[in-house]
Amino acid sequence: MGENVVLVYLVVCFFVFLAGFVDSIAGGGGLISLPAYMIAGLPVHTAIATNKMSSFMGTSVSSFYYMKKGFMKWRICIPAVFGAIAGSWMGSHLALLISESILKIAMLIVLPIILFYVLRSNALKGNEENTTDVIDGMLIFKCVIIAVVIGVYDGIYGPGTGTFLMLLFTGFCHMTLNDAAGTTKAINLTTNITALVVFLINGKVLLPLGIAAGVCNMAGNYLGSHSFASNGHKIVKPVMIVVIVIFFVKVLTELI
């Protein structure tokens, strides 16, 4: 990181703060924070590992807040968390076998479909008409499957995990926006912890920068989670659209 340590810290911490705000509302904060670490000159594996450190700290704040607000339904979250651990564990091993370019090409196909769904869907407008707060075996089963599949994705690549979870919980499971947000946070926190443990064991985390950025991420998550609680249906959809577009441009640029 050389002589520009202070500048690196300022740049990374600013963008990680912004990432925390976005992530607490609609997920996808990694689309902002991970490039910041890489622009700062960190090697790819160190950037991913250190990003997991700050993401874990920030997601802990929003997860605790959503839990206090009663957005986490434990009959759903507990089995989903176990699914997320299994998925993230499998994904981290699959990452060693799957070409990164193949994954990115797949994302270029999937992202426009997701964006079309977000633009057309009423699930993120705060309309509770087609949602359910009834917790039955089928809903739990769906949530566990989603946790495993997205956990695998998070282990392989990561950015956009929270966004995908929100879309699936509101659109496929017809959960209320609050319940979807709470379940998303429980799963996202789990996948962050699982990956962070692996990276810490392998000595890939740059702890001083990770902790400093983590504090900023916590501040962003705190502000974002409070904004969600008061204006969730107004904020979540436009933020999610911006995140998906940024993600698409980022992947396309990397391929080109």
Give the max Cα distance, the chain. 57
Looking at residue 186, its pLDDT comes to: 94
| Domain ranges for the chain | 5-255
pLDDT at 110: 76
pLDDT for the residue 244:
74
Q: Report pLDDT for 86.
A: 94
Which residues on adjacent β-strands are paired with residue 99?
A: none
pLDDT value at residue 236:
65
pTM of the predicted protein model: 0.78
Pick from 70, 74, 79, 72: nearest CA to 185: 72
H runs (alpha helix) in 128-176 = 137-156, 161-171
Residue for token pair 């959503």? 66
State which amino acid sits at residue 91. Answer: G
- Non-local (6+) Cβ contacts of 246 within 8 A are 28, 31, 32
What pLDDT does 1 receive? 47
Return d(Cα 145, Cα 162) in angstroms, integer: 15
pLDDT beneath 70: ranges in the chain: 1-3, 95-96, 100, 103, 118, 121-133, 228-236, 240
**Which pLDDT does position 183 carry in this prediction?**
94
Distance of CA 249 to the CA centre of its chain: 18
| pLDDT (0 to 100) of residue 105 | 80
Of 252, 236, 255, the closest CA to residue 23 belongs to 236
What is the chain's length? 256
